[in-house]
């Protein structure tokens, strides 16, 4: 497999800039002073075992959790210092794909996609709404599911609809929480391809949280390996996994992927 | 100097501590509700949908309960009044009992069971499946959309449902009275409302507003703060009903005491 290459990354312009980020839950220190930058147009994969605080990191970026220390700058704004209104405005530029998809299960796919648009307070004609929804569903290849309920969809389809629901807001930043968790290898491959398509088409900058090495290799322009609350290595997939560090080797061997 | 921990001090039971902490959190939650309810944007469409969900969908159960309450109460009261030859007082007795106490209380208990468990389970399930977080990150205010709309609906619909329960219960009472004394419809209602005062109706409405608010806020709080996966959803639904009912009983006693000062 050839190495992923993205040509439109702007390394002069970080869209996310994290400095000395710390977060604990009770006595358990999850993030212990993390530094990280994500550049415009770049896909950064945060790789690590379950329970290492990967999801906590993107929840802090989205303003769902407050950091204990450090700063998180998103599109030039310090997330922790924003009031509710400012945070809501910033969130229009952030798409968050949840591990569980988090589709509103009492609503159809159409209603799931219409919901964030309607909540912006702007008035949309039914034609505009319909065309935006169809466009987002076409982008994830699921236009035919438009009138289905989430319970009628497979795991992979739910992930795609979850991504479509974020795309409808035309975000600048995408945060993917375990996008391939619980999916078979073929569906995982489709989701990986979709993440790259989203990056290509919408020119998004993304953080992809995963413990799946195939996902990391296929979607990441840069990989950050999280262990014990700190990034132990950052670089391309090849750079990381050619490193003789035993901690990386054990992680790699455990995943059994072909090189 | 290090102080020794007193050995004989009675420990506050864990359950009691937890209960008071819960009540404190519910008050804080209610504080957020009052802050959000008056601030734009107003989710009118969702409030109307909740009116329908909470009001119209409760009608069948409320109708049956109200009717049975009216008919059984009248039937059980007859022998006692008959002993004194006072069965002609039945319509007034039934009306006073229903309008002052039974209609608001029965409606609130039915609503706590049906609506409260529904809200607790629905919001609890949305919380543990990250749907509330999804709303938050899509720049929606989930508190406003999910909690404010439901609390408004329970608060405003319960007085309507209470008046409806009162009417249906009186119909039950009328059927029983008519079957025994052949009292006419207009005669029954004339006698029934002879002893009902404005204060009775007013107190009933105020009571049901308070009950409706309590049920809405408690069950929303329980659902909104649910955790521990599917188990948490069950706990949220269950504790919505138990806590709402308990608080409704406490409020009933307090309001009855207050209204009795005005009589």
Residues A179 and A95: their CA atoms lie apart, in Å, by 13
Residue B6's pLDDT band, with cuts at 50, 70 and 90, is low
**Which residues 101-160 of A have a C-beta within 8 angstroms of B?**
102-106, 115-116, 119-121
Q: How does pLDDT run across B26-38, given as a tens digit for each residue? A: 999 999 999 999 9
Minimum-distance CB partner of A64 among B122, B131, B137: B137
Closest CA to B114 of B54, B50, B69, B47: B54
pLDDT of residue B39: 85
Q: How does pLDDT run across B84-114, given as a tens digit for each residue? A: 888 888 889 999 999 989 999 999 999 999 9
| Residues A34, A231 contacting (CB under 8 angstroms) | yes
Minimum-distance CB partner of A169 among B126, B136, B138: B138
List C-alpha distances in Å: B263 to A106, A246, B95, B117, B199: 48, 83, 17, 36, 8
User: Starting at the edge strand that comes first in sequence, how are the strands of the sheet with A10-25 ordered?
Assistant: A28-40, A10-25, A69-74, A77-78
Q: Is the CB of A163 inside 8 Å of chain B's CB atoms?
A: no
Minimum-distance CB partner of B137 among A96, A99, A106: A96
List C-alpha distances in Å: B1 to A66, A192, B6, B8, B91: 38, 64, 15, 21, 74
pLDDT of residue A256: 53
Asked whether residue B1 carries a pLDDT value surpassing 60, the answer given is no
Best of B57, B123, B139 to mutate (most A CBs within 10 Å, chain A): B139
The sign of the dihedral angle between the CA atoms of A128, A129, A130, A134 is positive
Write out the H or E segment, with its range, that includes residue A88: helix A84-91
Higher pLDDT, B158 or A27: B158
Residues A18 and A12: their CA atoms lie apart, in Å, by 16
Residues A70 and A20: their CA atoms lie apart, in Å, by 5
Q: How does pLDDT run across A105-155, given as a tens digit for each residue? A: 989 999 999 998 888 777 778 888 899 999 999 988 889 999 999 999 998
Asked whether residue B166 carries a pLDDT value surpassing 60, the answer given is yes
In terms of CA atoms, which chain B residue is nearest residue A169?
B138
Q: Is the CB of A28 inside 8 Å of chain B's CB atoms?
A: no
Q: Which residues pair with A31 in a beta bridge?
A: A23
Task: Give the three-state DSSP class for A78.
Answer: strand
Domains of chain B: which residue ranges?
44-262
Asked whether residue B208 carries a pLDDT value surpassing 80, the answer given is yes
Minimum-distance CB partner of B137 among A91, A106, A121: A91
Q: Which residues pair with A224 in a beta bridge?
A: A46, A234
ipTM of the complex model:
0.86
Best of B36, B124, B134, B149 to mutate (most A CBs within 10 Å, chain A): B134
Place of tokens 């007085």: B159
- Answer yes or no: pTM beyond 0.80: yes
Q: How does pLDDT run across B140-156, given as a tens digit for each residue? A: 889 999 999 999 999 99
Cβ burial of B20 (10 Å; 0-12, 13-18, 19+) is exposed
Higher pLDDT, B10 or B41: B41
Give Cα B219 distance to the centre of its chain. Answer: 11
Residue B45's pLDDT band, with cuts at 50, 70 and 90, is confident
pLDDT (tens, 9 = 90+) of chain A, 259 residues, equals 455 677 788 888 999 999 999 999 988 999 999 999 999 999 999 998 887 889 999 999 999 999 999 999 999 999 999 998 899 899 999 999 999 899 999 899 999 999 988 887 777 788 888 999 999 999 888 899 999 999 999 988 999 999 999 999 899 999 999 999 888 889 899 999 999 999 999 899 999 999 888 999 999 999 999 988 899 888 988 888 888 887 777 776 666 554 4
pLDDT of residue A253: 66
The sign of the dihedral angle between the CA atoms of B206, B145, B26, B123 is positive
Q: Is the CB of A166 inside 8 Å of chain B's CB atoms?
A: yes
Tell me the nearest-neighbour CA distance from A166 into chain B, angstroms: 8
Residues B50 and B57: their CA atoms lie apart, in Å, by 10
Tell me the nearest-neighbour CA distance from B49 into chain A, angstroms: 13
Report the mean per-residue pLDDT for chain B: 90
pLDDT of residue B64: 95
Q: Which residues of B touch A (CB under 8 A)?
A: 41, 122, 125-126, 129-131, 133-134, 136-141, 145
In terms of CA atoms, which chain B residue is nearest residue A86?
B139
In terms of CA atoms, which chain B residue is nearest residue A60?
B137
| Residues A163, A198 contacting (CB under 8 angstroms) | yes
| Residues B172, B68 contacting (CB under 8 angstroms) | yes
Residues A165 and A168: their CA atoms lie apart, in Å, by 6
In terms of CA atoms, which chain A residue is nearest residue B142?
A119
Contacts of A88 in chain B (CB under 8 A): 139, 141
Give Cα A143 distance to the centre of its chain. Answer: 22
Closest CA to B43 of B160, B123, B147: B147
Residue B243's pLDDT band, with cuts at 50, 70 and 90, is very high
Contacts of B126 in chain A (CB under 8 A): 104
pLDDT of residue A3: 55
DSSP conformation letters of chain B: -PPPPPSSSPPPPHHHHHHHHHHHHHHHHHHHHHHHHTSSSP-HHHHHHHHHHHTGGGHHHHHHHHHHHHHHHHHHHHHHHHHTT-GGGHHHHHHHIIIIIIHHHHHHHHHIIIIIHHHHHHHHHHHHTTHHHHHHHTT--HIIIIIIHHHHHHHHHHHHHHHHHHHHHHHHHHHHHHHHH---HHHHHHHHHHS--HHHHHHHHHHHHHHHHHHHHHHHHHHHT--SHHHHHHHHHHHHHHHHHHHHHHHHHHHHHHHHHH-
Tell me the nearest-neighbour CA distance from B164 into chain A, angstroms: 29
pLDDT of residue A43: 94
Task: Give the three-state DSSP class for A13.
Answer: strand
CB hemisphere CA count around A126 (13 angstroms): 0
Asked if CATH classification 3.40.50.300 holds for the domain at A12-93+172-255, the reply, yes or no, is yes
| Residues A81, A33 contacting (CB under 8 angstroms) | no
Residues B71 and B74: their CA atoms lie apart, in Å, by 5
For A11, the token pair is 């390394």
CB contact under 8 A, A98 and B133: yes
Tell me the nearest-neighbour CA distance from A99 into chain B, angstroms: 9
Tell me the nearest-neighbour CA distance from A198 into chain B, angstroms: 18
pLDDT of residue B10: 64
Q: Name every residue whose Cβ is closer than 8 Å to that of residue A31 and which is 6 or more positions away in sequence.
A: A21, A22, A23, A53, A56, A57, A60, A67, A229
Q: Which residues pair with A231 in a beta bridge?
A: A226
CB contact under 8 A, B138 and A116: yes
In terms of CA atoms, which chain B residue is nearest residue A63?
B137
CB contact under 8 A, B136 and A104: no
Higher pLDDT, B9 or A67: A67
């Amino acid at each position: 497999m050839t190495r992923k290459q993205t040509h439109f990354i702007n390394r002069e312009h970080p869209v996310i800039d994290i400095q000395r980020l710390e977060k604990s839950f009770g006595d358990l220190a999850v993030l212990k002073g993390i530094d990280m930058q994500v550049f415009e147009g770049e896909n950064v994969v945060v790789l690590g075992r379950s329970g290492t605080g990967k999801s906590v990191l993107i929840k802090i970026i989205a303003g769902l959790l407050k950091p204990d220390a450090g700063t998180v700058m998103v599109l030039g704004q310090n997330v922790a210092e924003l009031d509710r209104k400012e945070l809501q405005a910033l969130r229009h530029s952030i798409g968050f794909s949840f591990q569980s998809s988090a589709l509103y299960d009492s609503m159809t796919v159409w209603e799931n996609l219409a919901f964030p648009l309607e909540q912006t307070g702007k008035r949309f004609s039914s034609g505009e709404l319909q065309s935006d929804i169809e466009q987002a569903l076409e982008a994830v290849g699921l236009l035919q599911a438009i009138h289905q309920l989430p319970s009628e969809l497979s795991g992979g389809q739910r992930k795609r609809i979850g991504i479509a629901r974020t795309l409808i807001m035309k975000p600048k930043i995408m945060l993917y929480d375990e996008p391939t968790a619980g999916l078979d290898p073929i569906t995982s491959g489709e989701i990986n391809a979709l993440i790259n398509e989203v990056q290509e088409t919408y020119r998004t900058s993304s953080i992809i949280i995963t413990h799946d090495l195939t996902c990391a290799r296929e979607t990441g322009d840069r990989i950050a390996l999280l262990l014990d609350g700190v990034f132990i290595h950052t670089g391309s997939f090849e750079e990381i996994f050619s490193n003789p560090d035993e901690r990386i080797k054990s992680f790699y061997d455990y995943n059994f992927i072909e090189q | 100097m290090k102080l020794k921990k007193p050995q004989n001090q009675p420990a506050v039971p864990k359950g009691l501590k937890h209960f008071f902490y819960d009540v404190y959190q519910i008050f804080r939650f209610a504080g957020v509700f009052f802050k959000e309810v008056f601030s734009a944007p107003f989710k009118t469409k969702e409030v109307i949908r909740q009116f329908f969900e909470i009001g119209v969908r409760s009608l069948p159960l409320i109708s049956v309960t109200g009717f049975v309450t009216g008919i059984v109460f009248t039937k059980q009261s007859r022998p006692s009044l008959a002993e004194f030859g006072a069965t002609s007082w039945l319509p007034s007795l039934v009306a006073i009992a229903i309008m002052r106490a039974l209609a608001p209380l029965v409606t609130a208990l039915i609503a706590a069971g049906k609506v409260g468990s529904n809200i607790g389970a629905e919001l609890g399930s949305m919380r543990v499946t990250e749907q509330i977080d999804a709303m938050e990150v899509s720049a929606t205010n989930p508190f406003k959309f999910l909690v404010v709309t439901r609390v408004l609906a329970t608060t405003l619909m319960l007085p309507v449902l209470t008046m409806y329960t009162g009417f249906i219960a009186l119909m039950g009472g009328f059927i029983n009275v008519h079957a025994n004394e052949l009292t006419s419809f207009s005669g029954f209602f004339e006698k029934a409302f002879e002893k009902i005062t404005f204060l009775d109706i007013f107190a009933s409405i105020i009571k049901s507003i308070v009950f409706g608010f309590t049920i809405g806020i408690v069950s929303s709080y329980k659902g909104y703060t649910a955790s521990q996966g599917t188990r948490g959803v069950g706990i949220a639904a269950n504790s919505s009903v138990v806590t709402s009912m308990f608080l409704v009983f406490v409020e009933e006693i307090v309001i009855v005491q207050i209204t009795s000062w005005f009589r």
